[in-house]
A = this chain, B = another copy of it.
Amino acid sequence: MYAELMKAATAIGIGVAFFSLLLSAMMDGTSPAAFINIPALMIIMGGTAGVTLASVGMQAMKRVPSLYKLVISAEPPDTRAQLDQLVSLADKARREGLLALDAILPEIEDDFTRTALQLVVDGTDPEMVHMILQAEIDGMAARHEAGASPFEKAGGFAPTMGIIGTVLGLVHVLQNLAAPSTLGPSISAAFIATLMGVGAANVVFLPIANRLKAISAEEIELRVMTLEGILSIQAGDNPRLVAEKLMSFLPPAARAEEENGAGAPAAPVSIDAKAA
């Protein structure tokens, strides 16, 4: 249940913000129906979608639905579990040799870790391993950035579309000042476009773009840690040193826990360390 809440943070946050706005409007006495304004909707949705498509191209747009899903259900990466796995691999490699890792390869779930270990087991030159894995991380970072781009562009264009919509409305109102009785509602309707544009950008597009970038940063961090670990394993570093190096990727609080949790398996490691 708690983990569910963690995963759904973005959906919950957007829901809370949307509900706050709606409730506040209703407390003012405005009926939600007043916000259903077809011309405004058309400008915000059609206009924003159009210029975003023009900005990022068709391919980036096609990834939008799957990114929506990712944002709503992404689990934070388990850095500690990955650290423990890398230290235990380092321990095994040091005791039984790098080739002993070949047998464990199929058990490793993460593609990046498995590919990296495969390279090590194949006896690839360490510098080449570094280059290939770094290129892989850079490629992922570039793809993530391209993925957040439609949301960022939409977040930038939507308020402007709202302003265009409102000015369009005001232009119409001002051309027909003769009927003062409809003046108020007409201006009011013109402002709906601004409301929608600013709302869509700030309640939907920008939070999602922010969240995608945060998820990307966490995943890159995890892979950089994995890269460091794999290179240490290939270099035959002492598992205790490997753990020390990788621990810098954990916040201090998580480290203490980690050390307690790893209390039992620490024994062979320290023996190894003495033997070194």
Contacts and interface: CB of A to CB of B under 8 A. Distances in A.
Interface of A: 5-6, 9-21, 23-25, 27-30, 34, 38-40, 42-43, 45-61, 76, 111, 119, 124, 128, 131-132, 135-136, 138-139, 142-143, 149, 153, 157, 160-161, 163-165, 167-178, 183-185, 187-188, 191-192, 194-195, 198-199, 202-203, 206-208, 210-211, 214, 221, 228, 241, 244-245, 248-252
Q: Is the interface of A mostly helix, strand, loop or mixed?
A: helix
A56 B18 contact: no
Contact of A202 (B23, B51, B57): B51
A45 B249 CA distance: 33
A12 B53 contact: yes
Per assembly, the copies of the chain total 5
A164 B202 contact: yes
Contact of A76 (B24, B59, B157, B175): B59
B248 A169 contact: no
Contact of A20 (B28, B43, B177): B43
Given A28-B169, A30-B168, A169-B28, A13 B51 contact: yes
